[in-house]
Structure 1
Amino acid sequence: MSDTIHLPVGREAVLENGWWHAHRFLILRRISQTFFLSLFLLGPWFGIWWVKGNLSGSLTFDILPLTDPFIAVQSVVAGHWPELTALIGALVIGVAYALIGGRVYCSWVCPINPVTDAASWLHRKLDLPKGWQPKRGTRLFMLAMVLVVSVLTGTIAWEVVNPISMLHRGLIFGMGFAWTFVIGVFLFDLLLARRGWCGHLCPVGAFYGLLGQKSLLRVTANNRADCDDCMDCFAVCPEMHVITPALRGQDSDTPLILSADCTNCGRCIDVCAPKVFQFTHRFDDTPAPGRVRTRSNPAPKVGKAA
């Protein structure tokens, strides 16, 4: 095991590649999340109505309708056929995320992501136990339950408790009951289940994961032969199980991370000092040599990561 495992997560990348290179995708994600959230707040806060609505449904410049396809699906199964503009908006968003990667929404747009990232950072700093870890299929069960409840109640069920919408309302109307949902997500990830909300429970993430099964944007471990076993990529990855097949593969195994669970957040690229990872597309057939294992360089036990 590399001696660099004893350094703080990402420290080796800062020393080797510089601070910006070790944080660039994290910073770009925060800029992206702030940008999208600000578009919806310009109207209520400053009277600049470039965008009306929220991430569930909006109208941009009074011309372009955009609808969360998950909301549209709930509306349909609840027995309320959306208007044509809403269907067009859902199609636009659905096609976009199907092409670029469904869970890009989770890491580059969703305003709850900074909340869960903060909880994960503090969890790591306090060296807390990982806590309850639901099975990976739990969020698919949650997705199914949301649709079932929508059918039974004739409502868009998820919007009743959606922390994304709650955060938006809290920012507009100030401190109130809505903030309890946001704080609850933070405390859940911090104290009960590491990466529990986005990684195991959120039905929105499950929906966008299914939507992006065949998306073009991918991360590749095409330089996996240079991996020094520092384990920083596993420590920062919100879905660490997606890394193993690409990073630990042999010559005949693809270095592409093809799992729909990958959020394309780019943190594995940031924190990797030897630059093992990079963004590419799903048709990238660049060969990546497998890792040669010796007694002095055994395969690490992934279960001990992070």
Structure 2
Amino acid sequence: MSANTHLPVGHEAIRDKGLIRAHKYLILRRLSQAFFLGLFMLGPWFGIWWVKGNLSGSLTLDILPLTDPFIAVQGIVAGHWPELTAIFGAVIVAAVYALIGGRMYCSWVCPVNAVTDTAAWAHRRMDLPKGWQPKKNTRFYVLGMVLIVSAVSGTIAWEFVNPISMLHRGLIFGMGFAWTFVVAVFLFDLFVSRRGWCSHICPVGAFYGLLGTKSLMRVSAQERAACDDCMDCFAVCPEMHVISPALRGKDEDTPLILSPDCTNCGRCIDVCAVDVFQFTTRFDDTPAPGRVREKPKTTRKIGKAA
């Protein structure tokens, strides 16, 4: 670990790349989340019905059906076989996320991501302890439990407590009691478990992670030889365990982040001042030749956001 770790997180990237480039993918993700929300809000708010429905199921331009495949699976195990259009919509969505990375849904579409990212930012700013960390596979147990409850109860069980659906419907039609679930997720991540909800609990993320196990789009630590051990990528990554195999691997090891837990959020690319990371495909698995970079003489205090 270098002396650079004593600077605020992202400080070096902002200094070397500028404020916008050091937050490029964060900005793009917020625009993406706002875009999808905006499409659904056009109808109820302005009477422009380009898209009808919500993230659970929708119809675009009265032609293209899209269905959350997790919703479809719950319906099937509950004994309610979806209509053909819903099945077709679920296949489309599943195929897209299988290609680009299942958990891109979590970081580029899901409205709760902005809530948990804000909690993570506040957690760093307040320098709070890590807190209780559920076991890595907890979300898969929750996923299994949701499917079992759906089968036993004959309902789409997760939708009764799903903060994603509640927040999305609440923003369109009015929040009401749904605020309590959203606030609970925020407070859980802030005070109880750092990155606890998305990284350890949410079965939606677990499901989409399984979808994207063999996805084409990947983040690569292609320039890992230039790493100056500032640790900023680990500080901002919502699934920090996915970085080490690619960044700390031996010369013959792939620089690709292959874990399905990776959300392809791009924050490691943003905060890396020496541009170690980049988006690529799973076939681009050759690390770049080593290069030497002079270590900066400044120091960074780990854990504080710039």
Range of TM-score over shorter length: over 0.9
Aligned residue number for residue 228 of structure 1: 228
Q: Which amino acid aligns with 2:267?
A: R
User: Cα RMSD (Å) of the superposition?
Assistant: 1.6
Aligned to 2:255: 255
Does 2:136 align with 1:164?
Answer: no
2:81 corresponds in structure 1 to 81
Contact 2:167 2:179 in 1 (8 A): yes
- Matched residue, 1:104: 104
> Which TM-score applies when normalising by structure 1?
0.94
Deviation string 1:187-218 (CA, Å, 9 cap, x unpaired) is 00001000000000000000000000000000
3-state SS in 2 of match to 1:256: coil
Amino acid in structure 2 at the alignment position of 1:90: A
Identity %: 76
Map 1:135-214 to 2 at 5 A: 135-214=135-214
Deviation at 1:169, TM superposition (A): 2.5
Check the 8 A contact 2:221/2:287 in 1, yes or no.
Answer: no
CA displacement at 1:19 relative to structure 2: 1.2
Q: TM-score, normalised by structure 2?
A: 0.94
Which structure has more RCO (C-alpha within 8 Å, separation ≥ 6)?
Answer: 2
Contact 2:78 2:152 in 1 (8 A): yes
Give the C-alpha shift of residue 21 in structure 1.
1.2
1:56 is the counterpart of 2:25: no
Q: Report the CA distance shift for 1:84/1:175 in structure 2 as closer, same or farther (over 3 A).
A: closer
Opposite residue 96 of structure 2, the aligned amino acid is: A
Aligned length: 296
**2:34 alignment counterpart:** 34
Post-superposition offset of 1:289:
5.5
> Where do 4+ consecutive residues of structure 1 move more than 6 Å?
none
1:162-197 Cα distance to aligned partner (Å, 9 max, x none): 101111222133341111111110000001000000
2:121 corresponds in structure 1 to: 121
Q: 8 Å contact 1:29–1:107 — kept in the other structure?
A: yes
Mark the CA change 1:81 to 1:290 in structure 2 (over 3 Å): closer, same or farther.
Answer: farther
Matched, 1:43 2:36: no
User: Residues of 1 paired with 2:166 and 2:29: CA distance?
Assistant: 21
Q: In the alignment, residue 94 of structure 1 is paired with which amino acid?
A: A
- Structure 2 SS opposite 1:71: helix
Cα pair distance change 1:184/1:291, threshold 3 Å: farther
Query: Whole-Å Cα distance in 2 between the matches of residues 38 and 4 of structure 1?
Result: 41
Identify unmatched segments of 5+ residues in structure 1: 297-303
| Structure 2 residues without counterparts, runs of 5 or longer | 296-301
**How far, CA to CA, are the matches of 1:234 and 1:286 in structure 2?**
22
